[in-house]
Amino acid sequence: MNAFLLDRYGKQRVLRRAEVPSPMLGEDEVMVQVHAAGVNLLDSKIRDGEFKLILPYHLPLVLGHDVAGVVVEVGSRVRQFKPGDEVYARPDDFRIGTFAEYIAVKEASLAIKPKALSMEEAASIPLVGLTAWQALIEKANLKKGQKVFIQAGSGGVGTFAIQLAKHVGATVATTTSSANTDLVRGLGADVVIDYKSDDFEKVLQGYDVVLHSQDATALEKSLRVLKPGGTLISISGPPDPTFARGIGAPWFVRSAVRLLSYGVRKRAIGRDLKYSFLFMKASGHQLSEITSLIDGGAIRPVLDRVFSFDSTNEAMAYVEKGRAKGKVVVRVR
């Protein structure tokens, strides 16, 4: 099959298109013919080597964390899927590789594709949808009437998280540029702050939850907009000891993580706040819940651009610029 390979770690390194063997199919796995693959900043960060300690992949590696496609074969223990099913998934860590014509995905990580969506639209959902779900529903236990601040509302996670929070019944604040104000308001944002001209710390106060995705300066300010007992969930770091234990990191990685997050954890405790780092996990069950919301009209995909499979490197470069409204997808088939 054709795939895009990472041969060596390095910033802005070009992936190599090559003919490689199709993946081996495990007893609990489903072989998916890839029709479309979402492109995420996570792919670039892995390529650059930023996650070598946390995710020690063996090279060469096929990147890609979102897939929508058709089932062509199932393992002997698979019961929920059959050939011909239209499905989507965020494959498990160490089983990624959607920048390819085929991928084997664990049955537990797969879900039936929303009927209302095209393959390209469906491929835009899994990673950002699961990130928002695990942050707001699973970790923060967001409830009707609470106030949530979602940073970078026009990005991939932001566009999904705003809609999910509004479905729950929360009041939503977000940051974006003035060019994207109408977009995020249309998704349900109640308070929209132009990050180029306004300081969100001076506008927001008494929030229950912050979904943090920006830099360290925004992290410090976010602690100050939360009310006592509030929760800050970061998807951009620093990782915390709970995360390190959860991935079974070796002792030296756990020690480094503890030091990296010590300051923010101490400041959070001093303000009677909860801080946690989220690195989302694959979940077919949660994706099925998301499918119901999409087919019910509560959430819609926000798709910026669709690139051809041949242009996978260009798609990654476009995402790295940080200007995409919603998600970027590669059409594989």
Segment 129-137 shows an average pLDDT of 98
Share of the chain above pLDDT 70, in %: 100
CATH number of 128-277: 3.40.50.720
Residue 12's pLDDT is what?
A: 85
How many CA atoms lie less than 13 Å away from 121 in the CB half-sphere?
13
Separation of alpha carbons 223 and 228, rounded Å: 10
| Residues in CB range of 85: below 8 A, 6 or more apart | 70, 71, 112
**Beta pairing, strands 191-194 & 171-176:** parallel
Q: Mean pLDDT throughout 16-32? A: 97
Q: Express each pLDDT in 202-260 by its tens digit.
A: 999 999 999 999 999 999 999 999 999 999 999 999 999 999 999 899 999 999 999 99
pLDDT confidence tier of residue 50, bands split at 50, 70 and 90:
very high
**If you average pLDDT over every residue of the chain, what do you get?**
97
Please answer whether residues 193 and 175 qualify as being in contact, where contact means their C-beta atoms are separated by less than 8 angstroms: yes
Residue 64 predicted with pLDDT over 90: yes
**Would you state the structure tokens that stand for residue 77, as one six-digit string?**
């223990």
274-320 residue pLDDT tens:
999 999 999 999 999 999 999 999 999 999 999 999 999 999 999 99
CB within 8 A of 132, min separation 6: which ones? 157, 160, 161, 164, 211
Residues 6+ apart with CB under 8 A from 141: none
For 254, the enclosing helix (H) or strand (E) is helix 251-270
Query: What pLDDT is attached to residue 100?
Result: 98
The domain spans of the chain are: 2-125+301-331, 128-277
Quick check: pTM over 0.85?
A: yes
- Give the 3-state DSSP-derived string for 140-152, with helices as H, strands as E and coil as C: CCCCCCCEEEECC
Confidence band for 53, pLDDT divided at 50, 70 and 90: confident
Beta carbons within 10 angstroms of residue 19's beta carbon: 8
pLDDT band at 54 (very low <50, low <70, confident <90, very high): confident
Name the E strands within 188-263.
191-194, 207-212, 226-234
Q: Pick the closest to residue 189 from 155, 228, 226 (CA basis).
A: 155
Per-residue pLDDT, 188: 98
The per-residue pLDDT for 213 is: 96
pLDDT tens digits along 74-103 = 999 999 999 999 999 999 999 999 999 999
Task: Express as a percent the part of the chain with pLDDT over 90.
Answer: 97
Secondary-structure class of domain 2-125+301-331 per CATH = alpha beta
Which H or E element spans position 270? helix 251-270
Helix or strand (DSSP H, E) at 129:
helix 126-132
